[in-house]
Amino acid sequence: MDFTVAQIAKMIDHSILRPEFTSEDVRKGCAIAARYEVASVCVRLCDVPLAVQLLRGTGVEVGTVIGFPHGDTPTVIKVAETELAIEQGATEVDMVINVGWLRSGNIAAVENEIGAVVRAAGGAPVKVILENAYLTNEQKLAACWASERAGAAFVKSSTGFAPTGATIDDLALMRSAVSAKVRVKASGGVRSLDQLVAMAAVGVTRFGSSSTEEILEDLARRNALALAVPALRD
């Protein structure tokens, strides 16, 4: 592997989003994030204060989700959620677009809503979740273009709650659709190191995953083996 554990860790948003998670589950997830010094945790909005408390001083950012998981809450609610998240200490936000508006061809409404969330975030990076499982390629492209025009920092493949998640083809399409100013985040089914590396090869630089520990421990084992083999030959 050409990656170190530290390099891959800083590409991961450790996901702590399942609806049944308890406060203890959030604590355990934040402990994993701190141990590996990942880029961020992505927690439910109600868990932002706890995550901020647990991760203060670790260098791990606290992100949360807006309009999650369906994206159909009114814009005013998404804006209010974003303002609350920032007020409580979140430093990144992942918002779900209104999929129905996009599929109806109402691109202007989608773009305006993204812009409203970007403004409410006050400079914190906004990652726009397209939920590709429900979109045609043309709709994916339109969502990417609208996200960039509206000032988003990332376009993101999935919530992880749709029938399918991130695919190489979708991620490559998203990367081709936006300029270098906008990054691509893969989420939804990113569970192995090999998946992550393949996605990085098409230009993905951030990954949402709940399998952080497994991915990073796999990389550590492979890198240790790669170092051990030449020593054994000698």
Kindly give the pairing relationship between strand 154-156 and strand 126-129.
Answer: parallel
Place of tokens 């807006």: 66
Q: How far is Cα 73 from Cα 105, in angstroms, rounded to an integer?
A: 18
Q: Residue 72 catalytic?
A: no
What residue ranges in 17-104 does DSSP mark as E strands? 40-43, 61-66, 92-96
Active-site pick, 13, 47, 78, 94: 94
Tokens describing residue 124: 């914190």
Q: How far is Cα 185 from Cα 204, in angstroms, rounded to an integer?
A: 6
Active-site pick, 78, 127, 140, 156: 156
Cβ atoms < 10 Å from Cβ of 55: 20
Q: Is the previous residue joined to 230 through a cis bond, with omega within 30 degrees of 0?
A: no
Q: Residue 185 catalytic?
A: yes
Q: Residue 156 catalytic?
A: yes
Q: Of the candidates 196, 234, 207, 206, which has an alpha carbon nearest to the alpha carbon of residue 1? A: 196
Q: Which residues are catalytic?
A: 94, 156, 185
